[in-house]
Amino acid sequence: MKSFLKYSALALATGAALALGSCEKALDKINLGATPGDLIYNDSTLANLSLNYIYDQNLPLWFGMGGIGFSAVNPTGLSDESFADNAYLQGTVQPNDVTDFGTTLDKGNNYGKIRTINMFIRDVRAGSLPAGTKNRLIAQAQFFRAWRYFDLVRLYGGVPLVMSPLNGVGSEARDLTYLPRNTTTETYAAIAADLDSAARALPGKWPASADWGHITKGAALAFKGRALLYAASPQFNPGDDVARWQAAYDASLAAKNTLSANGYALHASYDQMWFQEVNNPEAVMITGFNTSSGDQTKKNNTYDNGTRPSYTGTGGGSNQPTWDMVQAYPMLDGKRPGQSTRYVYSQQLFYKNRDPRFDKTIAYNGCVWPLNGNTSYRLWTYYKGTASVETKASTTSFYTRKAINPTVDVSSAVYVGTDWMEIRYAEVLLNLAEAACGINDLTTAFDQLKAIRKRAGIEAGTDGNYGLTTGMSRTQMFDAILYERQIEFAFEGKRFWDLRRWRKLESTLNGKRRLGLTITLTATAPSDFATTRDALAAAPGGLDNIYTNYFTIATKQVDTKYNIAYKPEYYFFAIPQQAIDNNPKVQQNNGVWGGAFDPLR
């Protein structure tokens, strides 16, 4: 059963009661502004209906994406995970390009969404619902207000904090809406305050399965931990102020303790966790999707159909892993390729003896990848001469298989409803590890890494350290944590943001061109290879034999036009000029952007 928030315009128009629990996760759009507040906020069902609209407006899509501006850019293509071509990678971003700040009156941009949230909070407070009900409703809205401000502060630095609805009618009221930018420190403080308030009112776990997907106390604390980790990172904390790391540590420790006390934990299976919904212990914050095909009810995730090979669905071929990402995975003993003495790395047999997360994330030529209900389906991406054996060739020779539903048929791939886990329990542990490293508590940091690697299935080794180096310095521990995040959260939209908050975009990516592979069948291969390859690969040592004797592999550049050229000013983007024209009290960011606002204050 798929449980989540469901509402419809018809239900609101007729005043019909609509339970939050539903067997379809569908969030239809409604015009809340046309409905009298005293009708909605004196009735718990209608108030929850109004809250559902806020959920629908603010919950992230797959990869943590949103619908406008920079948030609409798939972050996997902005890092070394996958390939994309855009102005950010080219180093040609202009001052008006990052439009998330908002330049028009629009309920769909960040400040439009914040206004909807502020109106909801105001009206709930003015309503006659019981105090406990009010507090829980307001708490969930406060979570999403913090979500919106976090989206802004990580892009621009401090922004104007609007914490109540502004009346823009009349010249005097208009002038009062001209708010200056708050400092970055003040913006992060407001985010933390909203999340603290939300955590005080929310339950550790909602009692009914029908409430699955609602924000919990643990989710609020986990998001606070994430936000304060950003505030402590070099992007915002170039002086390495330990007090910021301490605040992030306290937040993530509180999140871990709260979540653990309420049954949250690492899921037993790194790959199957995506297919358990209600009471999934890993899922701290989710966006729910459904499998409906009806125009008014469908809320399909689009990720599955867009990511699988095009000939196994109705779209497909996006989010292809680069050769750079393929090579990044550790070996089975947890050591990096080339550093393991137990498992020698070979580029020809790149798939052999890798961290188990490799086979659960990367689909490669010759692998068994259950798809379309075929549990023994084997993927082939090689070339015969100059022609690919695929009907539409992978650019890199690889596909992402993480969270791809193995059982749906070709025609149903477009309707896959696998939920997106925006915050996983694993993130809480790695946020805690990083913050602990920040305060030089390297033992706590080390313990979180071991827990993540144990669940992954990496060999413990004779020392029980899962391939981790003992006696690491603070700098080495930070590097180990970022590496673990790269692997654990591959193709979950976090790699780019990690590199950005650590100011490592330039040192990691600049001057490089991402790579793919071309795998070619040799002339010595059997003439009937196309019909016998599955059987040959299934034999003991068969795939190794095929790669050794019948395939050549060659790297190729998938960035064919330019070397990656991130600019240092991209750590804080420019406010669009139209937004400054709309509000003359808003200052532009300093440095290359030419303004007086210091985003590090």
SS (H, E, C) 413-482: HHHCCCCEEEEEHHHHHHHHHHHHHHCCCHHHHHHHHHHHHHHHCCCCCCCCCCCCCCCCCHHHHHHHHH
Q: Which pLDDT value is given to residue 20?
A: 32
The tokens describing 320, both together, are: 């292809």
Q: Under DSSP, is residue 286 helix (H, G, I), strand (E, B) or coil?
A: strand
Calpha distance 505→41 (Å, rounded):
47
List of residues 6+ apart from 223 with CB closer than 8 A: 143, 146, 147, 150, 195, 285, 423
Q: Which pLDDT value is given to residue 36?
A: 64
User: Which residue positions in the chain have pLDDT lower than 50?
Assistant: 1-32
Q: Which pLDDT value is given to residue 164?
A: 95
pTM: 0.93
Q: Which pLDDT value is given to residue 171?
A: 67
Q: Which pLDDT value is given to residue 369?
A: 97
Is 537 within 8 Å of 500 (Cβ atoms)? no
Calpha distance 20→6 (Å, rounded):
6
Q: What is the pLDDT of residues 411-464, one digit of tens each?
A: 999 999 999 999 999 999 999 999 999 999 999 999 999 999 999 999 999 999
Q: Which pLDDT value is given to residue 103?
A: 86
φ/ψ of 377, rounded to 5, equals: -60, 135
